[in-house]
A and B are shown apart, each in its own frame.
Chain A
Amino acid sequence: MAEPILEVRDLVKHYPLTQGILFKKQVGAVKAVDGVSFTLDKGETLGIVGESGCGKSTLAKVLMNLERATAGQVLYKGEDISRLSGPALKAVRRNIQMVFQDPYTSLNPRMTVGDIIGEPFEIHPEVAPKGDRRRAVQDLLDVVGLNPEYINRYPHQFSGGQRQRIGIARGLALKPEIIICDEPVSALDVSVQAQVINLLEKLQTEFELSYMFIAHDLSIVRHISDRVGVMYLGKLVEIGTDAEIYDHATHPYTQALLSAVPVPDPTGREGRERIILSGDIPSPANPPSGCRFRTRCWKAEERCSTEVPLLAVPEVLSGGARHDSACHFAAEREVAAAS
């Protein structure tokens, strides 16, 4: 196994809920991320899936230090970066970059493409000497499959897919080791999604990047990821290689998610079993006791409301299903998996 490049330990992000205008009193907290641990190995892609509001994007922001972690550690090559600030943080930013979800809002409309991609060099002048910057920007445009002559154009002159390539070029400019992709294709057309995904894969081999790939499209995550983590209400409920998660899911929530993936084959779709969850995702300000999924789980018993299931390999499992799953009653179940 490769060496871990990023290690996350019990990461917590709570947003305080306050009352009062002048003297603010904390009355509670939205537990957006509540105790998440995982590792990211060098050169691998870790997919993070989960429904809207489960804390995926907050997790990305905390990893990028755009939001301060409430508790826990983010270790980059063994050093905790979650408490850094000033020049030390700026230095770490060179190695961890981000690609944003919406290519229409992630590029400054008042700047040319050359200024947008060249900005990392202005902030970190040591990466590219002043005379070489135009050259470096054109190289980056070439790398992401855009015409280097577009350097003086403005973002509104490009299509969504092209804009996302510009966003990727900006993320690549500092030659980072880790790129956090926060739903990088969910705002794009399906055909353009494929292009961007292929580009990301090409860049990964070319620059030995590690990706953390956040998405809610399970098929895309399976395509690009080596390992997949499933999030529910601020916690990771299951994590494993893509085969383990997609073919041998043991957590009921993962199984329900997988059963909701659209199947393009009309004959198979009639026969397959769909797990329909009742109710809505509970409020992260007031999550259920014990297992967070118990309010919607068909396996829930007394124990689930008192004892928090830990993310570990359940002892009852064997074979292909032996991976981390946070369920007291983890078991495989036959579901039509996404392919």
Chain B
Amino acid sequence: MPDLIEKNAPAQAVASAEPKPEKPRSLGLDAWHDLRKRPVFIISAALIVLLIAFAIAPSLFTSVDPRAGDLRLHYLTKPNYLHFFQADWFGYDGQGRSIYARMIYGARASVVVGICVTAGVTVLGGLAGMIAGYYGGWVDTIISRVTDMFFGIPLLLGALVVLNAFTTRTVWSVVFALVALGWTQMTRVMRGSVITVKQADYVTAARALGAGTARIMFKHILPNAIAPVIVVATIALGGYIATEATLSFLGIGLQDPTISWGIDINSAQKVIRTAPFALFFPAGMLSVTVLAFIMLGDAVRDALDPKLR
């Protein structure tokens, strides 16, 4: 057989003679380039950025105090849709507070709950799933059965029970309740993903080199197993926001004086026939927010799924 390595040399010379080799792209960077071109991603990301801006600095968008009520204004003062960004743009609620201002200020509770719950379940559930998937055997059996038990608790019923234990409920008690009940979903996704990645040859190769458990887990398995968890987490984020609003609506989530769309929806539903706008704006905002996160999750999944590339 002729020495074919020698024949390879000219090809390399050509490759290195290229004007300026393109900056190497990691898979993550590839996904980002792909994502940037998707309209769904652009729209949902813009909405989410706006929402986060509401949450961080609501006073930039309205100078009205959302807690200051003037009972004379009440529901009967109709909204003036031409008064852009003014207190009466979307009218006033039952206590004469500006609906527009409350819509802006309500974003904070939703965003904090959404992000904190997602971070909590991803860390907690991800860790549990990683340990279960990596070690297998009886460790896996115990973690999986505990997961099954928690999975069997209906979210709303469970949250009702947990939140009733708190005398004063803040954003953090809602976060606690949702993390305590929601981590199982991430555990299952992570466990399945880790089991798949664990069998890859590059993990075996790392073991053959003498790599320790920590290196294998965090340099080889985690970066390759995290993608489905990110996707599920992004989609679930919208769900957590909706759940917070549901709990607040039912009166077991956030309480006044915390401003939440759920509370506002609850107080507005009694006057739906006389003042439908009082219900429409917080509910619409909630729907748009949930939709934005779900669309973002969808776009991220499409970008990260290697089978579509």
A contact residues vs B (CB 8 Å cutoff): 61, 64, 66, 89-90, 93-94, 97-98, 100-102, 105-112, 119-120, 123-124, 145-147, 149, 152-154, 156-157, 167, 170, 174, 191, 194-195, 197-199, 202, 223
Contacts and interface: CB of A to CB of B under 8 A. Distances in A.
B224 A149 contact: no
Contacts of A198: 1, 3-5
Nearest to A157: B24
Interface in B1-58: 1, 3-5, 8, 12, 15-16, 21, 24-28
A119 B211 contact: yes
B5 A152 contact: no
B224 A123 contact: no
A97 B208 CA distance: 7
Contacts of B4: 191, 194-195, 198
A152 B24 contact: yes
Contacts of B72: none
Given A108-B224, A154-B25, A195-B4, A174 B209 contact: yes
User: Can you list the 7 inter-chain pairs with the closest CB atoms, starting with the nearest?
Assistant: A106-B201, A90-B210, A110-B223, A93-B210, A108-B202, A195-B4, A105-B201
Nearest to A120: B209
Contacts of A97: 208-209
B206 A119 contact: yes
A112 to B, nearest CB: 7
Contacts of A100: 201, 204-205
A33 to B, nearest CB: 17
Given A66-B207, A194-B4, A198-B4, A149 B21 contact: yes
B24 A153 contact: yes
**Residue of B209, B215, B219, B223 with most partner-chain A CB within 10 A:** B209
A156 B209 contact: no
A248 to B, nearest CB: 24
A154 B26 CA distance: 6
A109 B223 CA distance: 9
Contacts of A145: 5, 8, 12
Contacts of B202: 105-108
Given A110-B27, A124-B210, A170 B12 contact: no
B24 A154 contact: yes
Interface string B132-168: 0000000000000000000000000000000000000
B200 interface: yes
Contacts of B219: 108, 111
A208 to B, nearest CB: 19
A153 B204 CA distance: 22
A127 to B, nearest CB: 11
Contacts of A167: 205
B145 to A, nearest CB: 10
Contact of B15 (A90, A147, A170): A147
B220 interface: yes
B216 to A, nearest CB: 10
A93 B208 contact: yes
Nearest to B204: A66
A102 B205 CA distance: 12
20 contacts: A61-B204, A90-B210, A93-B209, A94-B210, A97-B209, A108-B202, A108-B223, A111-B219, A123-B209, A146-B12, A153-B24, A154-B25, A154-B26, A154-B27, A156-B27, A170-B205, A197-B1, A198-B5, A202-B5, A223-B1
Contacts of B215: 123
A61 B201 CA distance: 12
A89 B205 contact: no
Given A108-B224, A170-B205, A223-B1, A89 B210 contact: yes
